[in-house]
Amino acid sequence: MNSVSPTSNAAAFLHRYAGLAGRLPGADIPALRALRDAAAETLTAAGLPSRRLEAWRYTDLAPMLRGEFREALTPVDEAVALPPARADRRAVFVDGRFRADLSSLDGLVAGSLAEVIETVAPRLNTVASASQPMVTLNTLLFEDGLVLEVPAGTDAGRVELLSLVSGETAATVHPRHLIRLARGARLVLLETALSPAGSAHLHNPVFEIEVAEDAVLTHVRVQREAESAYHLAHLGVRVAEGGTYDGFVLNAGGKISRSETHLALLGPRAAAHLNGAQLVANGQLADTTTALDHAAPNCASRQTVKTVLSGRSRGVFQGKILVRREAQKTDGYQMNQALLLSEEAEIDSKPQLEIYADDVKCSHGATAGALDEDSLFYLRSRGIPAGPARAMLVRAFLQEAVEVVADEAAREALDEAVAGWWAQHGEAA
C-alpha cells in the first residue's frame, strides 16, 4: 500500500485503515485485502469528495471533513432500546455491527456479512473508483452488513432493516449490505436509520443489490438520524429481464444527507421506480442523486422526487437517465419538484437525459415554488388556522410521491416521519 499523503482530506481514515487492516473481516483473503489496498491507494491519490467533482458540485462535505471521526466502540452486548417493530422479521445493526440478540430472521437466508465473509467476498464487485469516493471509503473500512438472499420463486414478505447509531460523538460506521433476489422471488425491505439527537457521527452505508429475472424488490428507506449527523448512502442495483426494483427514500435527518443510486436495467421488460422525498430544515442539506442506465429494450423507469425546505436550508436533486443504443422502446419519466417555505431556502436541480436510441419515450422536468397563496387563503377562509392550513398543503404536496408506496407498514413509517418533521419544524416554516 502506498504511503498516506499528510495533506489528503482522507488521511484520518487512511491512518485508521493502516492500523485496522489486519483485523478487518476477510483480512486473510488475498482478493479482499487487495480490494481494500486498492481503495486506500485511490483515496490517497484522489481524496474524499470536493465540489471540484461534478457529481458533488452542489454538496460541500467540508464541514464533515473538518471533524475527527473514529471507529464506533459500542460493546457488542450493550442494551439498546429499539423502536416498535414494523415486520415480523428484523435485522438490527448497532453502530454498523449485526446484533443477533436483537434480530429475528427465522425462515430467511440472511445474517451477518462478517460471519460469512469468505463465502460472499467474491460478490464484492465494487472496485475502488475516484468517481465514487464514498464507496471507496466504505470498501476500505466496512466491518459488517446484512447478507440477504431470497430463493427462486419465494415470497419473503416484509423484512425490516434497522440501523441504529448509538450517539457516540464522532463515530463512523460503514456497513456493506448484500441483497440478492433469485428468479421470481419477491421481498419488501423496510429500512430505517435512526440516531439520538445531538449525535455527530458519519453513517456511510453501501448496498449491492441484484434482482434476477421476474423478481420484485420493494425497498423503502427512511433516514431520520440526528440533524448534526452525516448520512451518505450509496446503492448499486442491477435488474435482470422482467425484474422490478421499486424504491422510495425519505431523507428527514442529517446535517448533510445524500442518497446516491446507480441502477442498471439489464434485460428486456425490466423496470425501476426511484421515488423519494426530502424534508430539509434550517442548517441542513439533503441530496438525492441517481444514475439510471437503460441497457436493454422495452424497459420502463419512473422517478418523482419532492423536496420541502424550511429556514436556511438547501436541497439537491441530480438525476440522469442514460438510454443506450440497444435500449429501443424505452419508457422513462423523471420529475423533481421543490416547495420552498422560506426565502432563505435553496434548491439545485439537475435532471438529465442522454439518449442514443431512436425509438423511445422519455421526459423530465423540474419545478420550484412557494405555497400557493390562493389555496392558503381558501383554507383560512374556511376557518382553518394558518399553521394547520400550511401543514395540509405541505402534506398534499408530498402525497403524490408517498402514495406510490403500496406496502401499508412502509406508508405508515413514511407518514410518521413526515408528521414528526412537521411537528418539529412546521412552526418555523
- Find how far residue 79's CA is from the centre of its chain: 27
User: Distance between CA 199 and CA 165 in Å, rounded?
Assistant: 8
pLDDT at position 69 is 76
pLDDT at position 429 is 64
User: Distance between CA 233 and CA 246 in Å, rounded?
Assistant: 17
Residue 339 pLDDT exceeds 90: yes
3-state secondary structure 193-225: EECCCCCCCEECCEEEEEECCCCEEEEEEEEEC
- Say what the pTM is: 0.94
What's the pLDDT tens digit per position in 118-146? 999 888 865 546 678 999 999 999 999 99
Beta strands in 125-243 (DSSP E): 146-150, 155-164, 171-173, 176-181, 186-194, 202-203, 206-211, 216-224, 230-239
pLDDT at position 6 is 42
What is the chain's length?
Answer: 429
User: Distance between CA 410 and CA 9 in Å, rounded?
Assistant: 38
Task: Please count the other Cβ atoms lying within 10 Å of the Cβ belonging to residue 201.
Answer: 28
Residue 7 pLDDT exceeds 70: no
**Domain residue spans of the chain:** 11-371
Higher pLDDT, 182 or 38: 182
What's the pLDDT tens digit per position in 32-81? 999 999 999 999 998 999 888 899 999 999 888 887 777 765 556 677 88
Q: Could you give the angle at the alpha carbon of 354 between the alpha carbons of 247 and 292, nearest 5°?
A: 15
The conformation of residue 181, written as its DSSP 8-state character, comes to E
Q: Is the separation of the CB atoms in 319 and 305 below 8 Å?
A: yes
What's the pLDDT tens digit per position in 371-427? 999 999 899 999 999 888 988 899 889 988 888 898 988 988 998 888 888 888 876
- Name the residue among 167, 222, 216, 163 with its Cα closest to residue 190: 222
The conformation of residue 45, written as its DSSP 8-state character, comes to H
User: Distance between CA 149 and CA 134 in Å, rounded?
Assistant: 25
Q: Is the separation of the CB atoms in 291 and 263 below 8 Å?
A: yes
Percent over 90 (pLDDT), the chain: 71
Task: Please count the other Cβ atoms lying within 10 Å of the Cβ belonging to residue 137.
Answer: 28
Q: Is the separation of the CB atoms in 426 and 391 below 8 Å?
A: yes
pLDDT at position 72 is 67
User: Distance between CA 258 and CA 287 in Å, rounded?
Assistant: 4
User: Distance between CA 237 and CA 181 in Å, rounded?
Assistant: 11
pLDDT at position 285 is 97
pLDDT at position 66 is 81
Task: State in Å, rounded, how far the first CA of the chain is from the last one.
Answer: 50
**pLDDT, averaged across the chain:** 91
**Alpha-carbon distances of 288 from 55, 143, 166, rounded to whole Å:** 11, 26, 25
Residue 4 pLDDT exceeds 50: no
Q: Find the radius of gyration of the CA atoms of the chain.
A: 21
Q: Is 249 helix (H, G, I), strand (E, B) or coil?
A: strand
pLDDT classification of 29: cutoffs 50, 70, 90: very high
Q: Is 162 helix (H, G, I), strand (E, B) or coil?
A: strand
The conformation of residue 274, written as its DSSP 8-state character, comes to E
CB within 8 Å of 52: residues ≥ 6 apart: none
User: Distance between CA 289 and CA 286 in Å, rounded?
Assistant: 10
CB within 8 Å of 241: residues ≥ 6 apart: 213, 214, 266, 267, 268, 269, 270, 296
Instruction: Calculate mean pLDDT across residues 281-299.
Output: 96
Of the given ranges (267-281, 323-337, 414-428), which has the lowest mean pLDDT? 414-428
